[in-house]
Amino acid sequence: MTFPNRFAAQLRRRAVPAMALLGAALLSAAAAAQAQSPFPPPPSVEEIDAWVEDAMARWEVPGLGLAIVHEGRSYLSTGYGVRELGRDTPVDGGTLFSIGSCSKAFGAATIASLVEEGKLRWDDRITDHIPWFRLHDPWTTGEIRVRDIVTHRVGTGSNQPLRPLVADRRDYLMRLPHTDPDHAFRDRYGYTNDMFVLTGHLVETVSGTDWDSYAREKLWNPLGMTTTTARMAPANASPNHAEPHAIIERRFIGNAATTGMPLEPVPWQYAEDVTVPSGGVITSADEITEWMRFHVGTHPNPPLSRSSVELMHTPHTVIPNPSSWMPFEGPGAYAMGWSTGRFGDVTGVGHGGNALGFNCSIALAPERGFGVWATTNRNSELPWVLTQWAMAQFVGTDELRNRDWHAEFERSVAEGNRRIFEAEEARRAARLDQGPSVPLEAYVGTYRNGYAGELRIRLTDEAIPALMPAEGRLGRWDGTPGVHERPAASASASAERNGSANGTGGSAGELRLVAEFDGRERPVRMPLEHWHVDRFDMWFGDVRIGVSFMLDDTARVSGVEMDYYGRFERVP
């Protein structure tokens, strides 16, 4: 609407005093509210945007998803950067990311759902529901209860090296009796993926349906999390999913979060029929917001009772020294699928997660109705930096708000790399200039142990294709082809650069030893590179596996000691 100038001037003269009075009243009310509140105002969305964009450049992150719940309501749900390097595909609130071990809270929640249905009790013995289940000793096998498997106190450790070898979840679990415990049962905190693998099998056994379907019906649908899944295929079929990225350099010795290293997109990988819900849930900022609102008690359609939620947040296993991903400092505890402890003046509840090319962090302060979730499409410390910073800004003390969280995590990465590089230098310095003690043909044979199964050592002159760079990269043991596996030109070029010099396959006609296991979808074949005397190295993606042959008193090769897989005896 337009007015003649003189009428407009009159309107302005009348409106300005009224607007000034209204503005003064609003400012006065805001000042009064702030004076009554013991907490400083939270950062604005614009301030958060600026901080995140600067942080992404600092940590060299292609894309990031972020969700913040404040006073029980969604404060921010958005994305930054791109879904894939080299493409103009922006991340937004609906972009799907793999969240790694942030999935464990969903695993505990599905158990809680079965308890509320009356199909399980927290103190049921596992063998009451899975009679064939065994661990390393009969007493632990008979005593382990449902609550034990979601509280990191069983002692089994995490057997990621099995992932590329086993056929399914049952096959994985049936190999656990062949492993030595990391610590005594219920003796202390010991992080384990194995027991959350068991959680998935228990849910499927008791419910009669697969874990993804059960979680969808009991948790995700009631919360409105319609695109959240534990299956790669539907996530990869979505037009709005992030691509994982990894360091291009093959055999990089160091922290996966190291900056200054070129990145490349790599295929999604996860042995979903084995390890879900230890990891493998895929979700977005928009949908994880509903999960956080449920946990802080403000969701209008909670799938579980408040008493179940509070139990899942209750300390069960003491953690004397928290890991960097935990949203507290000093002693804390593991609850059920969550860690918990004091962060300044509030109780922090949270978890971290890693998957190939993804990192995730979630942190809650339920008493203040606060939650923050951050995820990146490369392995990076930034999600943990960001959740600590956000916790400090929204619910922290002055000291926490003034901390330089970037610098603290950067020092941690640098110190970790220093130790890794020194260990590698020491390994190289100890190398002996001695060839194999017996002819290569003497190592050929079949070896076996109960953990990894059958190991075949062959002598061949055929070219062995390098494993996909994503398989096993930087400590990952998923070892399954990506749903949309692709050649990855830059990765192939990297393999060619390293070529036979690094034993990634070599050329046809060159005799070499090759180790072969039965794999999930195809045999896993890895050339052996001589190191010294009877010690060889083989590489699963970027993971070096030491292979030491053992000789008896007659100089006959009698067995193999292999990093991660243990001792194999030669089959006559």
Same domain (yes/no): 350, 224: yes
Judge whether residue 490 has pLDDT over 50.
no
The H or E element that residue 362 is part of is strand 358-365
Predicted confidence (pLDDT) per residue in 104-142, tens digit: 999 999 999 999 999 999 999 999 999 999 999 999 999
Same domain (yes/no): 383, 302: yes
Instruction: For residue 435, tell me if it sits in a domain.
Output: no
Instruction: For residue 77, tell me if it sits in a domain.
Output: yes
Give the model's pLDDT for residue 2.
33
The lowest-confidence range among 30-44, 320-334, 499-513 is 499-513
Q: Which of 9-13, 102-106, 167-171 has the highest mean pLDDT?
A: 102-106
Which of 360, 392, 407 is the last residue in one of the domains? 407
Q: Where are the beta strands (DSSP E) in 183-288?
A: 245-247, 263-265, 282-283
Instruction: For residue 349, tell me if it sits in a domain.
Output: yes
Same domain (yes/no): 223, 271: yes
Q: Which of 126-130, 180-184, 469-473 has the highest mean pLDDT?
A: 126-130
Same domain (yes/no): 327, 364: yes
Same domain (yes/no): 61, 14: no
Same domain (yes/no): 225, 93: yes
CA contacts within 13 A on the Cβ side of 300: 2
Percentage of the chain beyond pLDDT 70 is 86
Angle at which helices 45-59 and 382-395 pack, to 10 degrees? 150
The residue ranking higher by pLDDT, 542 or 186, is: 186
The position carrying tokens 């499409």 is: 377
Judge whether residue 475 has pLDDT over 70.
no
The residue ranking higher by pLDDT, 219 or 249, is: 219
Kindly report the number of other CB atoms within 10 A of residue 19's CB atom: 11
Judge whether residue 271 has pLDDT over 90.
no
The position carrying tokens 């450049």 is: 57
3-state secondary structure of 532: strand
Same domain (yes/no): 386, 446: no
Confidence of residue 254 (pLDDT cuts 50, 70, 90): confident
Give the model's pLDDT for residue 29.
42
Mean per-residue pLDDT over the chain, rounded: 87
Average pLDDT over residues 443-472: 82
Average pLDDT over residues 312-324: 94
Token duo for residue 389: 């910073």
Instruction: For residue 318, tell me if it sits in a domain.
Output: yes
Domain span at 549: 440-465+505-570
Separation between Cα atoms, residue 327 and residue 391, nearest integer Å = 8
CA contacts within 13 A on the Cβ side of 424: 11
Same domain (yes/no): 52, 23: no
Average pLDDT over residues 65-88: 97
The position carrying tokens 């649908």 is: 221
Query: What CATH number did the domain enclosing 461 receive?
Result: 2.40.128.50
Instruction: For residue 496, tell me if it sits in a domain.
Output: no
Token duo for residue 437: 């003690």
> Could you tell me if residue 416 is left (phi over 0), alpha (psi between -120 and 50 degrees) or otherwise beta?
alpha
Instruction: For residue 200, tell me if it sits in a domain.
Output: no
Kindly report the number of other CB atoms within 10 A of residue 237's CB atom: 11
Identify the CA nearest to 291 among candidates 510, 138, 99: 99
Instruction: For residue 417, tell me if it sits in a domain.
Output: no
The residue ranking higher by pLDDT, 501 or 368, is: 368
Same domain (yes/no): 29, 65: no
Average pLDDT over residues 35-64: 91
Confidence of residue 506 (pLDDT cuts 50, 70, 90): low
Give the model's pLDDT for residue 236.
93
Same domain (yes/no): 334, 444: no
Confidence of residue 19 (pLDDT cuts 50, 70, 90): very low
Q: Where are the beta strands (DSSP E) in 366-519?
A: 370-376, 445-449, 453-460, 512-517
Separation between Cα atoms, residue 134 and residue 333, nearest integer Å = 27
Give the model's pLDDT for residue 540.
82
Token duo for residue 179: 């492993």
Give the model's pLDDT for residue 505.
52
Query: What CATH number did the domain enclosing 285 receive?
Result: 3.40.710.10
Instruction: Check the CA dihedral 9-14-15-19 and report its sign.
Output: positive
Instruction: For residue 16, tell me if it sits in a domain.
Output: yes
Same domain (yes/no): 109, 5: no
Same domain (yes/no): 368, 461: no
Q: How many domains does one find in the chain?
A: 3
Predicted confidence (pLDDT) per residue in 422-439, tens digit: 999 999 999 999 999 999
Give the model's pLDDT for residue 175.
96
Give the model's pLDDT for residue 37.
58
